[in-house]
Structure 1
Amino acid sequence: MADLTIDKSLLTEEEWGDSDLFRKHCLSDLSCGTGTLLRAGYHRVSTLHEHAGGNLESLRRLHTAAVEGGIIGTDVNPIAAHLTMSSLAALGYGDPYGNTQIGWVSVGGEKGQTGSLEYFATQRVVDLFSVGAGKFADNGAKNAVYVQDASIDWTLMNPPYSRTRGGLSAFDIGGLSEIERKACQRRWKSLVKNEAVNNRAGLAASFLALARQKCKPGGRVGFVLPLSAAFAESWAVTRRMIEQEFENIVAITVADRRASGKQSLSADTGMEEMLLVGTKRSTHGRKGQNSVANVYCVTLRQPVLRTGEAGVIARSIQSALKQIKASSINYSIRVGDDEAGQICTFATKADGAPWNPLGVLHASLALAANALLEGVIRFDEHVASISVPMSTIGDLFKVGPTHDLIGHLSGRDPRGAFEFVPVVSPIDAIGPDRALWKADSHTQKYMTVSLTHKGMSPTGVGSDAKREAMRQFRSTLFYARNMRWTSQALLSAVTTYPGMGGSTWTSLQHDDQRVLKAFALWANSTLGFLVHWTQGQRTHSGRSRTQVKALAGVPCPRLDQIPKTQLEQAAAAFDELSTQSLLPACQSHTDEVRKKIDHAVLKMLDLKGDNIPGTVATLQWLWCNEPSVHGHNREALALLEPTLSRQQP
């Protein structure tokens, strides 16, 4: 990441060779931990300095300038800040140095201090401990680490991801009381209220917004982020900010991380992650004005585990970037004769939409899936358009609420209108206040399913008004918010009796039963899977999670505009296929019933042409081969092997 962020082209040969470089340019990490990224950044700059003619004497001057203020680092952990300072000093030659800009910043206390996030409101934050001498505040009484707005050349950061959700808490830091923690959360919300940040995204989004504020025009940022930053609805406002405020945006992830046994880039997250690199624009559009922005999505086949390997991969990515900017939409990232990954240009409208090509190994599949969002099947030289306009689930249906409003399972923390218990039989699934709460891969193999839970109204849970409000969202059509491609067969299900949604299933309402059935066909087809796959989060291999607000924005055809005859034929096809057992989604390429669903959907959408069924089958096969779909499921991989040996489905 340091090599990509601190690009050689940013300065001239003479500037890189200047031993006072760090007195004119700044490198920062405002969540520096033990200084890993700051050391990497320093190594990158010192290497470029050497290549520009630097010698031992100039390297000594370079290091002194870096330690005396050219490198800025802050952390809420005093031990980590100490290690940062000592490790940076150890990179030098034993020379004495003066003031530094490495500091320990306050978190908690009566005012709910938020560490480096205080830089949103000020340009100096007090250094609590003599980690470094710092620069003196105006009154000379306190040491402070000083960070001016629009002053930083290079920011490298792996910020904390924590958020207040699902029993977890932002600022869940050892030594803080609950009162202090809540004060920190209130202060945090106050600091970012005018920033491009949704607090549900967690602290990482706030640090990215802070980097934008401190980065000078033409400066570069490099971040380690959760992969949800590329897909989650809670990150949409931050993605929009990135697209509008930055250029030369590169997002990097690994498609096959599980194969190596290494789950994440960070030491303690255990989750799928990405790298983000970008250049702050000198100018940007007026607030609220969309523009076009390219995001270069890099998907590597394997994790980069060694420092030397990282440098080689970085140079390969830079080479591919030059090629793709000059003449191509996608390009292979090669190291010698081997393909290390691929890069794909994702042209955004600067609207914060998911960066769906990221994490996709097959570039042509990524481009085909993206075209499908506009209602076009485009692959190789085959092109066909859906006969009705594309819209969104939220435009076509009334979308039900999140499960937190509906209720909770018995024995869990009380929330929502109802307490739910499992039904004991299909007969028990019929009645008032039933819900399709959870997914069950053993029983939900057919497009028609039974409701799974029944709601109770014990004392202290909900109210009559809340329960009546939730009943207004009952439906017979449901959509899966948490889709496990490896085990679940259904993205959409129809019930014979109306019910509410739950933690996995969200209700969709429409007055025309034929539209409900037509949508169930669409959602469970290859085309429906591809569209959902572009929108859902891929933070866990083999899964696709979607928040309710994001679900409403998932594209789909305007099925209510299909000619009456085709709509009735689609409803009849659903009735015929809804009682036939389906395989898990990741095994679709071997599923004869899924092929019948695809055929019915092509007919419903008037997608004609001898090559279209074959094109859809090819897209299906490529999709099933994506690690984010098969999740290294043994059965799925075993079924792919015979097909791979024949090259084509």
Structure 2
Amino acid sequence: MATTEHTINDALALVLRHSRRAWRDAGVIRSENTGMLRGAAHRPDILVLEPYVSPVVIETEVVPAATVEPEARSRLGSHVALSGRAILSSIALRVPKRFRLLDGADLARELLTATDYEMAVYTGSSPDSASRWPRNRWITGNIADLSILTQAAAVPPEVIDRAADELIAGIRAAAGLLAEVSVSHPGAIAKIGEELRQESGEQTLRMAAAILANAFVFHESLAGGPGALRDVRSLEELKGSWSLTKAGLLAEWSKILSVNYWSIFDIARRLLEHTPGVASRAIVETLAVTAARLLEHRLMRSHDLTGAVFQRLIADRKFLAAYYTTPPSAALLASLAINEKQTPSGDKWSAGDALRHLRVADFACGTGTLLSAAYQRIGQFHELAGGDAQDLHRSMMGGSLVGCDVLPAAAHLTAASLSSVHPTETYTESSIITLAYGRLPDGEVALGSWDLMDAQRRFEILAITAKAAQGTGEVTLEPWSSLPHNGFDLVIMNPPFTRPTGHESDKIGVRNPMFAAFQTDDETQKLMAKAAAKLSAGTNYHGNAGEASLFVALADRKLKEGGTLAMVLPLSFMLGDSWAETRALVTRNYSDLILVTNAGVGGTDVSFSSDTGMAECLLVGVKRKSGARRATFVTLNERPDTTMSGTNIAVQIQKAIETGFLRKVEDGPVGGSPITLGSELVGQAIGAALPAGWNLARVRDFTLAQMLHALIDGRLLFPGMAKSDRTNLKMTSIGALAVIGPYHADINGRTARGGIRGPFDKLPVQSGSVPTYPVLWEHNADLERTMLFEAEAECIPRLSCNDAEQSLIDSKVESLWATASQSHFNVNFQFNSQSTAMQFTPRRTIGGRAWLSMKLKSVDHEKALVLWGNTSLGLLIHWWHSNRQQIGRGNIGKNMLVSMPVLDIDALSPSILKRASAIFDTFSADPMLPINELHQDSVRKQIDEAVMTEVLGLPLALHRPDGPMDLLRRKLASEPSIIGGKRSA
């Protein structure tokens, strides 16, 4: 007799109970129980009633499971009979037919080992408003995947958003009340700023209100709890007894502090004590209402909620670059860094003793989003292996989880977020640290986490101390014994991206943005920069890369051999010239590298952080002396929008690597390995050798990368192209063909002290005049549609009353004019508005900020090079070689231009060279479309055909309608990094 679905559900519920500690308590997971939902005509197959999060229904059915989805959807909006809590999430689970043939121990064993469960999550407040994840088809996985999916479903994203909005509204209202009394009580407001070590202002008031709000939510969570917490009255009880006042709250918080929770309630107590009495009642009542609203959603312990709210309140971003990793991105990074096979230290997940000695650090922790994601992952895998994560909490908080930040409020909020994982579990030690930053009382300076680079620094410049948010108070830690080099199993970070000089400094009007937080004065910034120079000497740090490059060096020093590095970095890490030393460090010291980038399909955000407005990448690697020769590169269409998506994408990437189902760049134009959620293609993965693989950043269509790999190697290889047509091309580099002109600052720049660096002043070309020293300086897309156009500016030699200086100017004028050429390279190519990658001027011209001059053997050579650079093949290589950090733009600086692959013009015969020059003359004045409209550009098509048939001798068949070249143009024009936020015409 076939096993019934009722029996399967009971057995499945039993297996699930053992996958999570909170589910092992009686009554948390119910199967096939009637009367569990109010007014429900049918009983839920499985009901998960974990405290403090939303209940989840799991509806199961044996495939083909024709009714499982309608049943799962129908549960939304129902209410649990006893508690009245609404069902906001349900899971449709399809189980394989073979389960029907098993019973008893055989069924239990198969439930544990099966890898072909099919799952989908429905969320919403009613069946009509339901949203499905994945959007179509199913997520396939094992019992661990089902358990983790159920845990995620218990914190629905739309509820998080609604609750976050409510909490933010309460915080804003409370901050507004503080602002109203700031004029009449400036001393009290100043004391609040001192407690937070921040200047008075909007950010400080919001942060104070946020910390108070966090305490209110925690208060309600703890009231009436076990032991001494039983005597803590809830906010509602305080209101009922007319004790919902400043004094009444402080009395209750003293009770809580006598038990624990110092990291949450001590600073909140001090802030409330400083709150002026005239405003305290209104603030208390406002935040009490806010906490009550949040309790309706049972989400006061949600890491997603805590992180999403508090990160949105940090306003000191232009100096600290304190942008935060979105929770879905944090789930993706943490899941890539921490897998089910073994712990970051290489032990089994069931080994509780080993996990107690695990060390995980974030030296730029913000409010702890990444640490929380890592901690959640560790706890999940330990419990899936039969352990109890709550038993680890004391040691995890005591020393396993290390977080550092220069914002005291951020450190406290990180501690609060981590404490909330097991709020009733006490701990006496913590390593969530506020590091000193700026001028110290003794006149020396501190640099925050940078000081951790050198274990001897405390003896040289300052005796650095760190205040750690302890479970039962604050104590001073000794950082060098607590944070040793080579002492960590996992370093997971999203460091600040601020750079010390250049445009960033100009934009915000400070000397050194990297050291300008907390309104440090110019003299302090100078001292900090001097100290930083000592700390970064001999490392991979580069000023143009910014402080994120030093955080990579810091992570490397702190990691053990075999430890895992997991970081969010600017996309320039993969493509930027200033990041070369950092890439070399990673290649030299790390293996099993995974790089994830975000294509930004449809103009969506290309970052993994909130509000940065810049492209980023995720880096994961294992520290090993052998280093890396290859890496896995993943491009997602867009960043994940839920923690479920982030986690599942990571699992798919790991499976592709472990099973060997990973396409390679060397495979030919067949594309990458698909990453899917259900039937939705969300990205692709591919393997590639280093260093060439770095160029895969933000490449959506890996077929283009495979074609490029062949082209750079001198082989023309299109999808479906006959082997007989795979013609070899002779390729070289720009540096081997041309003398590249000067950096723009060497034309008109001045030294730091105002001296002469460049001998010219730049002025626009006057109408009707003929400039002596023409220069291509700025872009004007409408005037640059053709390969041939005039310079828009001219250089005027500077005059000096100092004879020696004038002699230097004259010498520099002569040497710079010697670099003038007629061929020039587009340094900052805006793909979605500009048409020409290279250009030709009717007379010799100096290259400027937007165009670098390229001086070749002859005019014919320069024409041939410009012609090649504007073919679709030349554009393909230009795009591939560029830094695609900015939306719709590709930047290639002088140093990178030297190595850019190009057709070997010198290898062309004299007659072919003449022919190339003639083709250039034919098309030089014909306007072309921007690159995002490449596939519609008739002039470009004619240029492609002429060059490839008459210069390269390739078959005309390549240019037939819908042929290989047409496919190439369509693919390239469709790349999100080319389209940016625009659409093709």
* TM, length-normalised to structure 2: 0.59
Greater Cα radius of gyration, structure 1 or 2? 2
Task: Report if the CA contact (8 A) 2:791-2:841 is conserved.
Answer: yes
Specify whether residues 415 and 162 from structure 1 end up closer, same or farther in structure 2 by C-alpha distance, changes over 3 A only: farther
1:14, CA displacement in angstroms?
7.5
Task: Report if the CA contact (8 A) 1:232-1:354 is conserved.
Answer: no
Q: What corresponds to 1:646 in structure 2?
A: none
1:398, CA displacement in angstroms?
0.6
Q: Please tell me the residue identity of whatever aligns with 1:566.
A: I
Q: What corresponds to 2:926 in structure 1?
A: 580
Aligned positions of 1:144-155 closer than 5 A:
146-155=482-491
Deviations 1:410-440 (A, max 9, x none): xxx9973322121133x43x32122011111
Deviations 1:200-253 (A, max 9, x none): 211111111221221112211111111111111111221122122111111112
Unaligned stretches of 5+ in structure 2? 1-332, 459-463, 506-512, 666-671
Select which of 775, 778, 783 maps to 1:438. Answer: 778
Specify whether residues 63 and 100 from structure 1 end up closer, same or farther in structure 2 by C-alpha distance, changes over 3 A only: same
Q: What corresponds to 1:4 in structure 2?
A: 336
Q: Give me the whole-angstrom Cα distance separating, in 1, the residues matched to 2:340 and 2:526.
A: 44
1:22, CA displacement in angstroms?
3.9
2:566 corresponds to 1:222: yes
Specify whether residues 18 and 93 from structure 1 end up closer, same or farther in structure 2 by C-alpha distance, changes over 3 A only: farther
Select which of 300, 310, 314 maps to 2:646. Answer: 310
Specify whether residues 258 and 159 from structure 1 end up closer, same or farther in structure 2 by C-alpha distance, changes over 3 A only: farther
Select which of 810, 816, 835 maps to 1:489. Answer: 835
Report SS of the residue matched to 2:544. helix
Q: Give me the whole-angstrom Cα distance separating, in 1, the residues matched to 2:446 and 2:365.
A: 18
Task: Report if the CA contact (8 A) 2:916-2:951 is conserved.
Answer: no
Q: Give me the whole-angstrom Cα distance separating, in 2, the residues matched to 1:97 and 1:451.
A: 70
Report SS of the residue matched to 1:98. coil
Deviations 1:14-68 (A, max 9, x none): 83123334432111101111111111110010011110112xxx32221111100
Deviations 1:319-368 (A, max 9, x none): 222344667553111222221111111212xxx45612231221211211
Q: What corresponds to 2:364 in structure 1?
A: 31
Q: Give me the whole-angstrom Cα distance separating, in 2, the residues matched to 1:563 and 1:319.
A: 51
2:611 corresponds to 1:275: no
Report SS of the residue matched to 1:113. strand
2:531 corresponds to 1:187: yes
Q: Give me the whole-angstrom Cα distance separating, in 2, the residues matched to 1:313 and 1:112.
A: 43
Aligned positions of 1:36-435 closer than 5 A:
36-54=369-387, 58-109=388-439, 110-122=443-455, 126-132=464-470, 146-163=482-499, 164-168=501-505, 169-256=513-600, 259-260=603-604, 262-281=605-624, 283-284=625-626, 293-324=629-660, 330-348=672-690, 352-353=691-692, 355-382=694-721, 389-407=730-748, 416-425=758-767, 427-428=768-769, 430-435=770-775
**Stretch deviating more after TM superposition (370-379 or 224-233):** 370-379
- Provide runs of 4+ in structure 1 moved above 6 Å: none
Unaligned stretches of 5+ in structure 1? 286-291, 640-649
Report SS of the residue matched to 1:486. coil
Task: Report if the CA contact (8 A) 2:915-2:951 is conserved.
Answer: no
Task: Report if the CA contact (8 A) 1:437-1:503 is conserved.
Answer: yes
1:549, CA displacement in angstroms?
0.8
Q: Please tell me the residue identity of whatever aligns with 1:585.
A: I
Q: What corresponds to 1:647 in structure 2?
A: none
Q: Please tell me the residue identity of whatever aligns with 1:159.
A: P
Specify whether residues 481 and 354 from structure 1 end up closer, same or farther in structure 2 by C-alpha distance, changes over 3 A only: farther
Deviations 1:387-430 (A, max 9, x none): 65322111211111111221269xxx9973322121133x43x3
Q: Give me the whole-angstrom Cα distance separating, in 1, the residues matched to 2:895 and 2:495.
A: 26
2:791 corresponds to 1:451: yes
Specify which structure has the bigger relative contact order, considering alpha-carbon pairs within 8 angstroms and separated by 6 or more residues: 1
Task: Report if the CA contact (8 A) 2:591-2:626 is conserved.
Answer: no
Specify whether residues 583 and 559 from structure 1 end up closer, same or farther in structure 2 by C-alpha distance, changes over 3 A only: same
Task: Report if the CA contact (8 A) 2:656-2:662 is conserved.
Answer: no
Deviations 1:45-94 (A, max 9, x none): 0011110112xxx3222111110000111112222112112221222233
Aligned positions of 1:594-633 closer than 5 A:
594-603=940-949, 605-609=951-955, 611-613=957-959, 614-633=963-982
1:474, CA displacement in angstroms?
1.3
Q: Give me the whole-angstrom Cα distance separating, in 2, the residues matched to 1:258 and 1:174.
A: 38
Q: What corresponds to 1:642 in structure 2?
A: none
Specify whether residues 381 and 240 from structure 1 end up closer, same or farther in structure 2 by C-alpha distance, changes over 3 A only: farther
Q: Give me the whole-angstrom Cα distance separating, in 2, the residues matched to 1:221 and 1:604.
A: 51
Q: Give me the whole-angstrom Cα distance separating, in 1, the residues matched to 2:711 and 2:527.
A: 46
1:592, CA displacement in angstroms?
1.6
Q: Give me the whole-angstrom Cα distance separating, in 2, the residues matched to 1:431 and 1:625.
A: 41
Task: Report if the CA contact (8 A) 2:489-2:559 is conserved.
Answer: yes
1:455, CA displacement in angstroms?
2.0
Q: What corresponds to 2:67 in structure 1?
A: none
Q: Give me the whole-angstrom Cα distance separating, in 1, the residues matched to 2:794 and 2:592.
A: 52
Specify whether residues 127 and 21 from structure 1 end up closer, same or farther in structure 2 by C-alpha distance, changes over 3 A only: farther
Report SS of the residue matched to 2:515. coil
Q: Give me the whole-angstrom Cα distance separating, in 2, the residues matched to 1:85 and 1:527.
A: 54
Q: Give me the whole-angstrom Cα distance separating, in 1, the residues matched to 2:559 and 2:346.
A: 23
Q: Please tell me the residue identity of whatever aligns with 2:977.
A: S
Deviations 1:443-475 (A, max 9, x none): 111111110101234567993343333222211
Report SS of the residue matched to 2:844. strand
Q: Please tell me the residue identity of whatever aligns with 2:648.
A: V
Task: Report if the CA contact (8 A) 2:467-2:477 is conserved.
Answer: no
Q: Percent identity?
A: 30
Specify whether residues 406 and 385 from structure 1 end up closer, same or farther in structure 2 by C-alpha distance, changes over 3 A only: farther
Q: Give me the whole-angstrom Cα distance separating, in 2, the residues matched to 1:183 and 1:114.
A: 10
Task: Report if the CA contact (8 A) 1:13-1:52 is conserved.
Answer: no
* TM, length-normalised to structure 1: 0.88
Specify whether residues 603 and 40 from structure 1 end up closer, same or farther in structure 2 by C-alpha distance, changes over 3 A only: same
Q: Give me the whole-angstrom Cα distance separating, in 2, the residues matched to 1:13 and 1:30.
A: 22
Specify whether residues 258 and 186 from structure 1 end up closer, same or farther in structure 2 by C-alpha distance, changes over 3 A only: farther
Specify whether residues 104 and 124 from structure 1 end up closer, same or farther in structure 2 by C-alpha distance, changes over 3 A only: farther
**Stretch deviating more after TM superposition (196-205 or 454-463):** 454-463
Please tell me the root mean square deviation across aligned C-alpha atoms, in Å. 2.8
Specify whether residues 29 and 130 from structure 1 end up closer, same or farther in structure 2 by C-alpha distance, changes over 3 A only: closer
**Stretch deviating more after TM superposition (518-527 or 594-603):** 594-603
Report SS of the residue matched to 1:33. coil
Task: Report if the CA contact (8 A) 1:189-1:199 is conserved.
Answer: no
Specify whether residues 610 and 495 from structure 1 end up closer, same or farther in structure 2 by C-alpha distance, changes over 3 A only: closer
Specify whether residues 186 and 597 from structure 1 end up closer, same or farther in structure 2 by C-alpha distance, changes over 3 A only: farther
Q: What corresponds to 1:527 in structure 2?
A: 873
Task: Report if the CA contact (8 A) 1:257-1:303 is conserved.
Answer: no
Task: Report if the CA contact (8 A) 2:393-2:425 is conserved.
Answer: no
1:572, CA displacement in angstroms?
0.8
Q: What corresponds to 1:643 in structure 2?
A: none
Report SS of the residue matched to 1:267. coil
